[in-house]
Amino acid sequence: MLLIKNGRVIDPASKTDAAIDVLLDGEKIKEVAPVGKIAAPQDVEVFDATGLIVAPGFIDLHAHLREPGQESSETIETGTRAAARGGFTAVCCMPNTKPVNDNASVTRFILDRAKTTGSVRVWPIGAASMGSKGEAIAEIAGMKEAGIVAVSDDGKPIATAKLARQVMEYCRSLDLTVIEHAEDVSLACGAVMREGVTSTRLGLRGMPAAAESVCVARDVQLAELTGARLHIAHLSARASLEQVRWAKSRKLRVSCEVTPHHFTLIDEDVAYDSHFKMNPPLASREDRKALIEGLADGTIDAIATDHAPHEPALKDVEFDRAPFGILGFETALALALEQLVATGRVSLMRMVELFTTGPARVLGVERKIATGQVADLTIFSLDQTWTYNVKESVSKSRNSPFDGRRFKGGPVATIVAGRIVERRG
Amino acid sequence: MTYRFRDLLALEPLTADELSFLLDQSKPFQEIQRHPLKKLATLRGKTVALAFFENSTRTRISFGTAASRLGADTMNLQAEASSIKKGETLLDTAFNLNAMKPDCLVMRHSASGATDYVARHLDIPVVNAGDGTHEHPSQGLLDALTIRDRLGTIKNLNVTILGDILHSRVARSNIHLLGKFGCRFTLCGPSIWVPPELEKIAPGTEIRCVYGMEEALEDTHVIMMLRVQTERLNDPPLSANDYILLYQLNAERLRRANCDAIVLHPGPINRGIEITPDVADGPQSCVLEQVTNGVAVRMAILYLLISGASESGTHPALEAKPKESANASD
């Protein structure tokens, strides 16, 4: 048994923000009571959370663990250790591995590896189409039986409107969320950053914001047509956000996520450093402002990292040739505290929601601190200062634009199924 | 005044004083181009590596000639003969070249920022001979030198750039250089090649985008033509006939400009496409002077970077022509 005592519990599901002790017994929460009121057995392990926040376990809806197939960039072992260090108790891994997770045997392989080598829960996302090629629908029912939590052709959009419609109809009947990487590939063709003054000045090929919002518009229309649960991944543009607002105003089952790098950095920060190259690319100043408003007002449902490790040999090339993507796990919470909470734009309760109940709702699962619930908790600090040194990362890759950044507040302990899997200091 | 940078990667970060200094330093080397014996010994024993990862004829020959007229040896790497096709990374190729101990690397590459990237990893001076659609600093300098020779100044001129500005490194270098001397720019071409974002790429410089030739040429002092670079585009978005109809510079359209306006073109020229032969060969055209000045500017660049990187030597042209070099305009 593990007693988390003297902490400040923030539980969005019950709107609780109070000094509460939590007793964990194996994989479940056994008791939740005001500080000092739990009569724990003598031999209980105690975690003193004085001065710390105790939250439900964080869920990352969007990550790339690279196994199977690209183990030189990341494995389920190293990726989940980095996730644990970042305070995540569950990560959803995208299916663009080699081979693509488009059938039950790949799903089972991922879950087996997670069981034997993983530090946190791994929730696989299955491909929407075979090989994510946008032709035939993947073996979604088989993957669901094996344990996927959603489907996506992430890395690219579901290729055609027709296929997107069919996938949505099929997934509605299977009660699975369709996660869309929204991008009109013909508009984005060959681009390496967001189109704007900076791309024009640097002479880098830019994609317009419309490359994303055109696809979001297509998909919310299809969500209305099919009644499916649709989730827009790594939303970056104001215009896309307005599409989601429209969908929500129509009571469609549409949700969206935003990454820490999109609410922190903008296209003006790009200067031929491939650690600033990701897809969708860093957006405009105005987009970033709109995203922060969307995070505050509830239009955005979740913060997701899009953790995308690439080994140095792949990333250390000309900007044009570098693959898209950056690390995300270890800096996500600290960036949210820095950009959203410390600035007063988002309440602490709301921020915790964006990491917990928000993503849980997208997947149709529960997440709260209450008796009988899973014993997954994220414990973090609001004031401990630390510096992110990417060379010390437990990830196999080093592609972060936040190397050397000083933070105030961040993860302190990660508890999965009643066990402390990561503890700082 | 000295040149404070180790490399020459872009004109954007340079101040007007630094740019004037580079232009002034080129002047004595212009003189040398007129000498019967053009070879100096200033960089004797030095080696200039020329790494062209993208096709080039005149810029490569111009840098090679500049190096040899300074007495330096050259090492040549051309993309088609290189190991790039065998899968070597750009950085590995650069490290290998550097291991042969050149004193300076002149580099052209199709990716914007590739020269910045290489320069960050090398300890020798790097000269950008054109990176993707970003900058082409030596071209900007030779254009400014040509304008200054013809018009007597590069200050407060009306400059019109015609063609595919979005994909032009020449246009960007010219805007960043001449803009610092108060020149006003009119950019003109098909709207897909002249996006309005261009008006903001050089804060402090007046830049406007227009889509009609007549308006663009009105009262201009300098007309810069750009080659229609179809190889840079996924699909040529305009037909050649439409381009000629709307944007070809011909004698009639040229009359809209100032009567003493000059016409520049970085080459190679597509005669009969962006420019008519009578204009290209006419009295207002500076095309061949640009080529001659290119050698002078590149001699100055190599001299400053290589001698600056070792110890300060005597200016070679001061030895050759001590008196005339002292008078620099602007």
User: In CATH, what class is A2-53+373-388+401-423?
Assistant: mainly beta
Res. A117 pLDDT band, cuts 50 70 90: very high
B229-266 pLDDT, tens per residue? 655 544 556 788 888 999 999 999 999 999 999 999 99
Res. B82 pLDDT band, cuts 50 70 90: low
Instruction: Catalogue all structural domains in chain B, each as residue range(s) with its CATH number.
Output: 16-135+292-323 (3.40.50.1370), 137-288 (3.40.50.1370)
Asked if the peptide bond before residue A99 counts as cis, ω within 30 degrees of 0, the response is yes
- The predicted pLDDT at position A337 comes to 98
The chain-wide mean pLDDT, for chain B, equals 89
Percent of the residues in chain A that have a pLDDT greater than 70, as a whole number: 100
- The predicted pLDDT at position B21 comes to 95
Name the β-bridge partners of A19. A8
A67-90 pLDDT, tens per residue? 999 999 999 999 999 999 999 999
Contacts of B12 in chain A (CB under 8 A): 201
- State how far the Cα of A64 lies from the Cα of A95, in Å rounded to an integer: 8
Q: Give chain B's length.
A: 330
Decide whether A2-53+373-388+401-423 matches A57-363 in CATH topology: no
- Evaluate if residue B2 carries a pLDDT over 90: no
A311-356 pLDDT, tens per residue? 999 999 999 999 999 999 999 999 999 999 999 999 999 999 999 9
Q: Cβ B234–A190 below 8 Å, yes or no?
A: yes
Residues whose CB is less than 8 angstroms from the CB of residue B3 and which lie 6 or more positions away in sequence, other chains included: B18, B21, B22, B304, B305, B308
Contact A55, A356 (CB under 8 A): yes
The two structure tokens encoding residue B199: 């008006």
Chain A CB within 8 Å of residue B139 CB: no
B interface test, pick of A272, A274, A317 with most B CB neighbours within 10 Å = A272
The two structure tokens encoding residue A241: 């956000």
Give just the sign of the alpha carbon dihedral A7, A10, A14, A19: positive
Res. B228 pLDDT band, cuts 50 70 90: confident
- Evaluate if residue B310 carries a pLDDT over 80: no
Instruction: Reply yes or no on domain A57-363 having CATH 3.20.20.140.
Output: yes
Residue A219 designated active-site: no
**CB-based contacts of B268-274 (< 8 A; 24+ apart in sequence):** B268/B57, B268/B58, B268/B227, B269/B225, B269/B227, B270/B227, B270/B228, B272/B244, B273/B228, B273/B240, B273/B243, B273/B244, B273/B248, B274/B162, B274/B163, B274/B225, B274/B226, B274/B227, B274/B228, B274/B243, B274/B247, B274/B248, B274/B249
- The predicted pLDDT at position B57 comes to 86
Candidates A306, A320, A376, A383; catalytic one: A306
Res. B327 pLDDT band, cuts 50 70 90: very low
The residue among B294, B298, B135, B155 whose CA lies nearest residue B222 is B155
A313 to chain B: closest CA residue: B89
Q: Cβ B234–A319 below 8 Å, yes or no?
A: no
Domain ranges of chain A: 2-53+373-388+401-423, 57-363
- The predicted pLDDT at position A400 comes to 98
Res. A304 pLDDT band, cuts 50 70 90: very high
Q: Which of A244-248, B77-81, B166-170 has the lowest mean pLDDT?
A: B77-81
Contacts of B202 in chain A (CB under 8 A): 201
Partner residue opposite A200 with nearest CB, options B116, B132, B197: B197
Q: pTM value?
A: 0.92
ipTM score here? 0.88
A119-135 pLDDT, tens per residue? 999 999 999 999 999 99
